[in-house]
Structure 1
Amino acid sequence: MAYVIAAPCVDVKDRACIDECPVDCIYEGQRSQYIHPDECVDCGACEPVCPVEAIFFEDELPDEWSDFARANAEVFIPLGSPGGASGTPVFTEDHPVVSAFVPSQA
């Protein structure tokens, strides 16, 4: 289990979670950030600092954003586990779930 960054982060990308993460497992894409599921230690430090409430423990992810759990895992398939986001450049492409996401105009 790991924490997941979901839809509210798309096109917001506040970096408070990155600054708070003690294990450097939050990576940056073009439109969203992603938590590496194998590097996350489930400490939860990122969740309360997220200003848009986009971070959820995987078991608590709202059903309407369930695809974001897959996106947070699959985006790392070509990269593997580099062992820290700080030395990794911003992803050139987001996961297709994020790329296709259209935020609601509430």
Structure 2
Amino acid sequence: MRPSPQPSWPGAEGTGAPGTSATKPATSPSPKALTDQQRTESMKTVSSWGAILLVPTLIGSIYGMNFSHMPELDWRYGYPMALGLMAASAMVLYIVFKRRDWL
């Protein structure tokens, strides 16, 4: 059996058939690829915390507008309900992002 011909252009070493001595050695990821991966991970974390803080801020902003016709304002537990809703929404988002390994 005749060996397969090797390409003759520069940088073509190591492009032979698998299992031959001309196979390309394993390379480690480039520094740019590692930096991009780290940036992606940090963006996931920052985006997660931004989403977690968005919902309670939105709820607090709506209640801070001092509307006179909000039924919750006349309830005895309206204020604790709003605080509970903020805490629950933040906790649900925290659990979701933690399970997806974004935090």
Specify the TM-score bucket, using the shorter chain as the normaliser.
under 0.3
- TM superposition score normalised by structure 2: 0.22
Which structure is higher in helix share? 2
- TM superposition score normalised by structure 1: 0.22
Larger Rg: 2
Which structure is higher in strand share? 1
